[in-house]
Amino acid sequence: MTFEMTPIGTVRNDRSEAIDDDWDRVDSRIELDLGVLGADATVGLREFSHVEVVYVFDRVGDDAIERGSRHPRGNPDWPAVGILAQRAKHRPNRIGTTVCELMAVRPGGVVEVRGLDAIDGTPVLDIKPYMAEFGPRGDVIQPTWSRELMSGYWTLGPAPDVHRRVDGDAWLAEVLASPADHGRVELVVCRPDVGERRVLDEGELEVEVGLVGDNWLARGSRNAADGRAEIDAQLNLMNWRCARLVAGSDDRVPLAGDQLFVDLDLSPDNLPPGTRLQVGTAVIEVTAKPHTGCAKFTRRFGLDAHRWINGIAGKAHRLRGICAKVVVAGVVRPGDTIVKVTG
């Protein structure tokens, strides 16, 4: 019996060689074939934090296929074990599977992931949402050699940039000390262009353009089918205490990419969608648009910070921040009070 499979997409990333280690820092884009899949095939996928990607080791030639046993990675210090007792690419059917972080789902059939151990151009056979119920039941037991093999598979030690060590419990306690109302605007940051930051002494907020001088409108959105800027993501607010903790210093806070950094409880219980806030002389409205850490955020502040902010507690308290839109134009300055508008 034989089966013929048609790839549903292709992996795109910066890895062109099948290097065995340091995959946790690899950001990949899976370009789906919408001739094979329907345009709505990814609807609902973004609700999951992780996906399982099934792909083909298409560069493995017939002469390299192993059907018996071998030393993993050819290392004679490790025992020769059967091909079904290791995860080598030289498998009879050349199929690989990996659970990786889901970073984004874009219009036009693009899925962005982190930690996919597949090189550029790899054909993808399937993508499935990862559910905790499919995780191991009972203790995971494995031989010593496999732990040695995997010791550098995901990361080879400190990242090129030195990031702060995350102390999740202590950091969360600090963030939760922010007031529920009558908070304070600590920093106003304009983004004139991609990668640029300008700290403002005074920011003008307008209904049509958001923060004047910011590139929100011109940049548009990859999440919109027509590429236009999303009104529900006109402004990004982040908790000042959280931003300082992950950044490590006040001067690095603007790198987070948000426009308003505030000392205020941004949790959904305190600020559900539709809540209006007066900031300076302007009024903004919290939207339902989720705000999550992007690849740039992770590169600047580290994987640990990204995973803390986007973990269960981080999501519950919206540590990455919230999205909002301007409903009444006005001026905002550092030091201004930020209060809930009632009635």
- H/E stretch holding 240 reads helix 240-247
CA distance 312 to 318: 10
Are 323 and 262 in a shared domain? yes
Tens-place pLDDT, residues 295-339: 678 778 877 888 888 888 999 999 999 999 999 999 999 999 999
The residues, any chain, with a CB within 8 Å of residue 123's CB and separated by 6 or more, are 7, 9, 10, 11, 55, 56, 58
Are 73 and 214 in a shared domain? no
Are 288 and 230 in a shared domain? yes
The residues, any chain, with a CB within 8 Å of residue 92's CB and separated by 6 or more, are 65, 67, 83
Nearest C-alpha neighbor of 38 from the set 102, 108, 105:
108
Mean pLDDT of 236-249: 92
Are 219 and 291 in a shared domain? yes
pLDDT at 157 > cutoff 70: no
The residues, any chain, with a CB within 8 Å of residue 140's CB and separated by 6 or more, are none
Q: The domain that contains 216 carries what CATH number?
A: 2.40.33.20
Residue 4 lies in a domain: no
Q: Where is pLDDT greater, at 315 or 157? A: 315
Tens-place pLDDT, residues 178-202: 999 999 999 999 988 877 889 999 9
Are 145 and 183 in a shared domain? no
Residue 158 lies in a domain: no
pTM flag (> 0.75): no
Containing structural domain, residue 230: 168-340
The residues, any chain, with a CB within 8 Å of residue 136's CB and separated by 6 or more, are none
Residues in the chain: 343
Q: What share of the chain has pLDDT > 90, as a percent?
A: 68
* Structural domain total, the chain: 2
Are 15 and 141 in a shared domain? yes
Tens-place pLDDT, residues 249-304: 888 899 887 899 999 999 999 999 999 999 999 999 999 988 876 667 877 887 78
Confidence of residue 163 (pLDDT cuts 50, 70, 90): low
E strand segments, 42-182: 50-56, 69-70, 81-82, 95-106, 110-114, 123-129
Of 150, 176, 202, which marks where a domain is finished?
150
29 close to 12: Cβ distance less than 8 angstroms = yes
**How buried is 44 (Cβ within 10 angstroms: 0-12 exposed, 13-18 middle, 19+ buried)?**
exposed
Res 158: pLDDT = 54
